[in-house]
Structure 1
Amino acid sequence: MSEPILSVSGVEKTFILHLREGARLPVVSGAGFELFSGECVALGGPSGAGKSSLLKMVYGNYRVDAGHIRVRDGDEVVDVATTPPRRLMRLRETTMGYVSQFLRVIPRVGALDVAAEPLTGDGVPREEALARAGALLARLNLPERLWGLPPATFSGGEQQRVNIARGLIAHRPLLLMDEPTASLDAANRQVVIGLIEEKKRAGVAILGIFHDAEVREAVCDRVIDVTEFAKAA
């Protein structure tokens, strides 16, 4: 078997509640797993088990208290748990994509530009980037009349489709997804299932939270039970 693109080992995280006199809230302890190219793995467990926290630790939004989160970046392996911020930013630009639950964008920037931005950041000519973004937004059934409008004015489901387009438009070998279909109707969930399957066939490794059982069963190769890490904490 090839080397994993993601290797998590011995990860621990505790939140300090400063407004509660420094109370400690253990999240995970001894978290460990591997993720390989071309597979989709779900983080499973009930609400509060630490799934979103673990995903944010892999992306580097949360620092870990102990352990390693190693991501293969070409010929180099980067430990997200200890790497400097600038190296983490480069890792996100080249290797690690993220589709969060909520779209965070600059005000007054149109949806087409929001979706195309990762491509222009990769050096793709603007005209080509906009064309590819438009094709993806059309596939996600976002009406063309909305493409020039800022997504802040959209419904939750419309914003999430822009969010998905932005997260999937550029090739990143490792893709993190936090409930990508939570705000979508049945038709658009099927579109996202198809897009995830295409990413897998292209060799992308996907780690996600999929509360929708239909989506999880359709795209995931296995489930990691996060409650085992929460028990240890």
Structure 2
Amino acid sequence: MSDPLVVSGVAKSFTMHLRGGLRLPVVDNVIFRVARGECVVLGGPSGAGKSSILKMLYGNYAVDGGEILVTHDGETVDLAQASPRQVLQLRRSVIGYVSQFLRTVPRVSALDVVAEPLIARGQDAEASRQQASALLERLNLPHALWSLPPATFSGGEQQRVNIARGFITEHPVLLLDEPTASLDAQNRRVVIAMIEEKKRAGTALLGIFHDEEVREAVADRIIDVTAFRPAREAA
């Protein structure tokens, strides 16, 4: 497999157990691939399944069928069939993720939240914190906040911590779920530049960007998710 991420025939539905097992199809026959150094954007209206696709690719949602192929230690792995242990391994080494909201950890400083992915991969703690400092500086997070837990930060401040945490590693695949939604214009420009740097480094990026300016700046291709509507909705 030459591309870092290949999605083939993926389907997803939700079962409403409190409504008599009602099945709600979300997407069907999702097919695309993302090449090294490419930023692919998922487009389409709210509710079309964009975030669900990202969550399947990160292993947060199980799939009903199809394949999600990534390369790990020189071998092709189907994330759709991976065990929970394999999913965690893939997250550490292959698939990075910047979500819309930071999952804060009580009593852990913003600096350590950002550095943690590097430390988890075996890098020296002090060197990891230095890299984290450089990213927080670049994203204009006030120094006074670095030693504080992010739980009390504003939405924009939390998102900058989230972005720094997601961008600090060199994962071959990086998923971006509205990374600039809570940012001001200055920091949106910073994130655009960071995405361009990831592309030059050969990272395969897949993202959702409702901000048209950001989307046009970073997208090499836009995939219309409405093409993956289940058959009953396509009629």
TM-score bracket for the superposition, by shorter chain length: over 0.9
- Tell me which residue corresponds to 2:11: 12
Q: Could you tell me whether the CA contact under 8 Å between 2:105 and 2:151 is conserved in 1?
A: no
Q: Which runs of 5+ in 2 are unaligned?
A: none
CA distance in 1, matches of 2:176, 2:231: 25
TM-superposed deviation, 1:21: 1.8
- Tell me which residue corresponds to 1:25: 24
TM-superposed deviation, 1:232: 3.4
CA distance in 2, matches of 1:153, 1:40: 32
- Tell me which residue corresponds to 1:134: 133
- Tell me which residue corresponds to 2:173: 174
Q: Could you tell me whether the CA contact under 8 Å between 2:66 and 2:80 is conserved in 1?
A: yes
TM-superposed deviation, 1:231: 4.6
TM-superposed deviation, 1:121: 1.1
- Post-superposition CA distance 1:65-87 (Å, at most 9, x none): 11111112241111011011111
Q: Could you tell me whether the CA contact under 8 Å between 1:10 and 1:31 is conserved in 2?
A: yes
Secondary structure at 1:71's aligned position in 2? strand
Amino acid at match of 2:134: A
Q: Are positions 1:204 and 2:188 aligned together?
A: no
RMSD: 1.0
Q: Are positions 1:152 and 2:146 aligned together?
A: no
The TM-score normalised by the length of structure 2 is 0.96
- Post-superposition CA distance 1:173-216 (Å, at most 9, x none): 00000000000000000000000000000000000101111111
Secondary structure at 2:202's aligned position in 1? coil
Q: Could you tell me whether the CA contact under 8 Å between 2:119 and 2:128 is conserved in 1?
A: yes
Q: Could you tell me whether the CA contact under 8 Å between 1:53 and 1:62 is conserved in 2?
A: yes
Where has structure 1 moved over 2 Å in runs of 4 or more? none
Secondary structure at 1:166's aligned position in 2? helix
Aligned-residue sequence identity (percent) comes to: 65
TM-superposed deviation, 1:105: 2.7
CA distance in 1, matches of 2:130, 2:33: 36
CA distance in 2, matches of 1:43, 1:94: 23
Q: Could you tell me whether the CA contact under 8 Å between 1:179 and 1:208 is conserved in 2?
A: yes
- Tell me which residue corresponds to 2:63: 64
TM-superposed deviation, 1:114: 0.3
- Post-superposition CA distance 1:140-164 (Å, at most 9, x none): 0000000000000100000000000
Q: Which runs of 5+ in 1 are unaligned?
A: none
CA distance in 2, matches of 1:66, 1:128: 42
- Tell me which residue corresponds to 1:191: 190
CA distance in 2, matches of 1:161, 1:20: 39
CA distance in 1, matches of 2:73, 2:4: 9
Q: Are positions 1:110 and 2:109 aligned together?
A: yes
